[in-house]
Chain A
Amino acid sequence: MSVTSEPNAATTPTAARAASDGPRRRPIPPSILLAIAVLVAVAFIAVAADWIAPHHYATQDLKARLKPPVWAGGVWAYPLGTDNLGRDVLSRLIYGMQTSLGIALVGTAIGASFGTTLGFIAAHMRGIIDELLMMLVDVQASVPYIIVALAALAFFGNDLTLFVILLGLEGWERYARLARGLVLSEMAKPYAAAIAGFGATTWRLNWRHVLPNIAAGLVVQATIYFPWVILLETSISFLGLGIQPPRTSLGLMLGQGRSYLANAAWIAVAPGMAIFVTTLAVSLVGDWLRDRLDPTLDG
C-alpha cells in the first residue's frame, strides 16, 4: 500500500457500523484483546528500551558481522543476528520501536492539538476564516503529503524537530474538520447556552465544557490516524531522508537491510514484521473503538 493513498478510504462501511450500533455492552472480541495485548507489549518495549535492550543500538562488533539469528546457526549473544556492521538486530529493533513510536506519538499530538485548535477557531469565527481553512484543506489534498514533506526537508535541510513537526502536520486538517463539526453541534445544545448565560467566558466554556465533551471523538480519530503517522515516518526514514544514523528507526533499519536481502534477510525481516504487527494492531483497535464509541464518526 502506498502511504500517499487517501486516508478517508479507511472508513468502515456504513452498513457494518450501523449493524454494530445496537447494544453497547458487548464483550471485547478476542482479536481486539490480542491487538491490545500487542500494543501494551510494544509500548512497554518502547518505554523500557534502555533496560531491556541487550546492547546499545550503535555498538559495533566488527568480528561478528552478519551473524544469523540464533535458530539459524547464530549465537545467544545476538538472538536476532547482527547487521553489516556487527550491530545487534534485536537491540536496534527495540530502539527503533522507541524512535518510531515516540516520534509518531509526538507527531500525532502536534497534529491533533494544532488541528483541533483551528477547528475551534473556525467554529467560532465563521465566514472568511472558515473559507480560508477550507481552501488550505483543498491545497493539502491536492498534493500527496509525502511530496510536500520531502520538499520541506529539501528546502530546510534535515532536522529532527522539523521532521517531527512535518509528521504532525500530515493530518491537521482532519482534526480541524472533525473538531469544527463537533464544536458546532455542542454549541447548539442547551447546556452550552446555559453556561454562557451564567456568564462563563468563551474560553472557559470551550476549555472546561465543550472540549471534554468532544474529547472521545478526537481520541478515536487520533487512534485511527496514528498508523498513518507511523507509516509516513517509516517511509521517509526508509528512503534515508528521515531519521539519520547513528539513531535508528524501524523504517531506517528496513532501508539499510534492503541491500542485504539476498544473504542476510533477517536484518530487514525483523523491522518489517514490527511495522506490520504494530500498525495492524493500532488499526484494529482504532476501527473497533470508532464502531463502539461513536458510530456516527466518519473519518
Chain B
Amino acid sequence: MVYFILSRIARAVITVALVVTFAFVVLRLSGDPALMIMGPEAPPEVLAAFRSAWGLDLPIWQQYFSYFGAIAQGELGRSMRDGRPAIELVLERIPSTLALTLPALAMKVGIGLPAGIYAALHRGGPIDRLVMTLAVAGFTVPSFVLGLVLVLVFSVMLGWLPSGGQDSWRHAILPVLTLGIGGAAILARFTRSAMLEVLGQPYMRTALAKGVPWHVAIRSHALPNAAIPTVTIIGFMVGTLIAGAVVVESVFSWPGVGRLLVVAVANRDLAVVQCILLLVAATMVASNLLVDFLYGYLDPRLRTGARAGAH
C-alpha cells in the first residue's frame, strides 16, 4: 500500500514537472520570454528585473531550474493588460467558474449514475434505449451547439431565462444545463457499460446460484465492481472543474476562468495563459491522484500488490 501511494505521488510530480517543462520549452521557442510575458511596452528596468528574477541571463539549464523556482514561489508574471499579477487575475475568476461547474457536476452524477445503472439492469427496455439515444446525442452535439439551442428556445422563443451575463442565479441555469446534460449522458453510457460488463461475470452467476437474492447480489457484488471504472470518469470530471467550461462560458458571456483564457489567448496575454495552463494541469493531476487513492480503496488487488488485471 505504501509502495502504491508513493508510486502514484511520484508519477503526479513527474507529470506536473513535464507540464512545466512543456511551458518552459514552448515559451523559449516562441521568443524572448521577458518581452512575451511583460509585454513589448515594458520599461527596460522592468525587463531587466524580470530577467534576473527568472534567471534569463544564466545558462539554459540553470534557467530551467530557476523557472521551477519562480513558479514554486508563485511568480508567474503580470498581465499585459492591467499589469496585475496573473495569478491574482486567475484566482479571482475561479469562484465564478465553480458556480457553473459544481452544480453541473452534481447534475452529471445525480442523473448519469442512476440512469446508467437502471439502463444496465433493464437492458433493452425503454429507459435503456432512451439513455443510449441521449448518450449518442450527448457525444455528438458540441456544447456550443447545445448552449445556443437552449438560448434559442428558453431565451429567444419563450423568454423565460436570460441568454448571458452573471447578474442573478437565473443566469446560471442555462450554462449549468449545457454542461450537465452532455456530461450526464457520457457518465450514463459509461456506467451502463461498466455495469453490463460486471453483470456478465462468473462471480455474479455464482452468487445467484448459491441463493443470494438479486438485489443483494447487485448491491454487494455488482455495484462495487462497476464503481472502479466509473470512478475514473467521475474523477476526470472533477479534474475539469476549472477548465471544463471554456466554451460554455463564452457562449453565455460568463466571466469565469474559461472566458479569461479565451480573452488572454486572443490578446496573447501570455502570463495569464501560462498561469491557467499550470493551474489546470495541477488540478487535473491532483484529481487523478485522488482517483488513484480511491482505486486503492475500492480494489483490494491494488493494495496487496497483486496488480494483474487491475487496470
A residues adjacent to B (C-beta < 8 A): 1-6, 9-16, 135-136, 138-139, 142-144, 146-148, 150-157, 227, 231, 234-235, 238-241, 251, 254-255, 258, 261-262, 265, 268-269, 272, 275-276, 279-280, 283-284
Give A10's nearest chain B residue, CB to CB. Answer: B139
Q: A1-B139, A150-B262, A154-B264 are in contact. Are A13 and B197 (CB under 8 A)?
A: yes
A114 to chain B, nearest CB (A): 17
B residues adjacent to A (C-beta < 8 A): 11, 14-15, 18-19, 22-23, 26-27, 29-30, 36, 123, 136-146, 148-149, 151-152, 155-156, 163, 179, 181-183, 185-186, 189-190, 192-193, 196-197, 199-200, 233, 236, 240, 243-248, 250-251, 261-262, 264-266, 268-270, 273-274, 276-277, 280-281, 284-285, 288
Residue pair A258, B19 in contact (C-beta under 8 Å): no
24 contacts between A and B (CB under 8 A): A1-B142, A1-B185, A2-B183, A14-B197, A15-B199, A16-B193, A138-B15, A139-B15, A139-B19, A142-B19, A143-B243, A150-B273, A154-B265, A155-B26, A227-B140, A234-B142, A238-B247, A241-B265, A261-B148, A261-B156, A269-B152, A272-B145, A276-B140, A280-B136
**In whole angstroms, how far apart are the Cα atoms of A146 and B284 in the complex?**
14
**In whole angstroms, how far apart are the Cα atoms of A231 and B18 in the complex?**
27
Task: Note all chain A residues with C-beta closer than 8 A to B140.
Answer: 1, 227, 276, 279-280, 283
Task: Note all chain B residues with C-beta closer than 8 A to A239.
Answer: 246-247, 250, 262
Residue pair B142, A157 in contact (C-beta under 8 Å): no
Residue pair A13, B246 in contact (C-beta under 8 Å): no
B277 to chain A, nearest CB (A): 5
**In whole angstroms, how far apart are the Cα atoms of A5 and B196 in the complex?**
22
Give A279's nearest chain B residue, CB to CB. Answer: B140
**In whole angstroms, how far apart are the Cα atoms of A238 and B249 in the complex?**
12
**In whole angstroms, how far apart are the Cα atoms of A255 and B138 in the complex?**
20
Residue pair A5, B182 in contact (C-beta under 8 Å): yes
Residue pair A139, B22 in contact (C-beta under 8 Å): yes
**In whole angstroms, how far apart are the Cα atoms of A136 and B148 in the complex?**
36
Task: Note all chain B residues with C-beta closer than 8 A to A4.
Answer: 240, 243-244, 246
Residue pair A147, B193 in contact (C-beta under 8 Å): no
Task: Note all chain A residues with C-beta closer than 8 A to B288.
Answer: 142
Residue pair B143, A2 in contact (C-beta under 8 Å): yes
Assuming A3-B143, A4-B243, A150-B262, what are 7 further A-B pairs, CB within 8 angstroms? A1-B146, A139-B18, A151-B274, A155-B29, A157-B268, A227-B139, A262-B156
B185 to chain A, nearest CB (A): 7
**In whole angstroms, how far apart are the Cα atoms of A142 and B280 in the complex?**
9
Q: A144-B240, A150-B246 are in contact. Are A15 and B261 (CB under 8 A)?
A: no
Give A280's nearest chain B residue, CB to CB. Answer: B140
Task: Note all chain A residues with C-beta closer than 8 A to B151.
Answer: 261
Residue pair A147, B243 in contact (C-beta under 8 Å): yes
A34 to chain B, nearest CB (A): 14
**In whole angstroms, how far apart are the Cα atoms of A5 and B236 in the complex?**
8
**In whole angstroms, how far apart are the Cα atoms of A146 and B199 in the complex?**
36
Residue pair B251, A143 in contact (C-beta under 8 Å): no
Q: Enumerate the 8 nearest inter-chain pairs by beta-carbon distance, A residue then B residue, closest first.
A: A1-B182, A13-B193, A15-B196, A154-B265, A155-B30, A280-B140, A154-B273, A279-B140
Give A282's nearest chain B residue, CB to CB. Answer: B140
Task: Note all chain B residues with C-beta closer than 8 A to A147.
Answer: 243, 246, 261, 276-277, 280
Residue pair B247, A2 in contact (C-beta under 8 Å): yes
**In whole angstroms, how far apart are the Cα atoms of A185 and B189 in the complex?**
30
Residue pair A275, B156 in contact (C-beta under 8 Å): no
Task: Note all chain B residues with C-beta closer than 8 A to A268.
Answer: 148, 152
**In whole angstroms, how far apart are the Cα atoms of A230 and B177 in the complex?**
23
- From B136, B190, B264, B280, A143 is in contact (CB under 8 Å) with B280
**In whole angstroms, how far apart are the Cα atoms of A173 and B256 in the complex?**
30
A287 to chain B, nearest CB (A): 8
Task: Note all chain A residues with C-beta closer than 8 A to B19.
Answer: 139, 142-143
B69 to chain A, nearest CB (A): 21
Residue pair B250, A238 in contact (C-beta under 8 Å): yes
Residue pair B246, A146 in contact (C-beta under 8 Å): yes
Give B21's nearest chain A residue, CB to CB. Answer: A139
Residue pair A1, B186 in contact (C-beta under 8 Å): yes
Give A251's nearest chain B residue, CB to CB. Answer: B144
B150 to chain A, nearest CB (A): 11
**In whole angstroms, how far apart are the Cα atoms of A135 and B233 in the complex?**
20
Residue pair B15, A15 in contact (C-beta under 8 Å): no
**In whole angstroms, how far apart are the Cα atoms of A231 and B265 in the complex?**
19
Give B147's nearest chain A residue, CB to CB. Answer: A258
Residue pair A283, B139 in contact (C-beta under 8 Å): yes
Task: Note all chain B residues with C-beta closer than 8 A to A227.
Answer: 139-140
- From B142, B186, B197, B284, A275 is in contact (CB under 8 Å) with B142
**In whole angstroms, how far apart are the Cα atoms of A13 and B36 in the complex?**
48
**In whole angstroms, how far apart are the Cα atoms of A239 and B147 in the complex?**
13
Give A152's nearest chain B residue, CB to CB. Answer: B26
- From B11, B27, B152, B199, A155 is in contact (CB under 8 Å) with B27
Q: A1-B185, A139-B18 are in contact. Are A265 and B243 (CB under 8 A)?
A: no
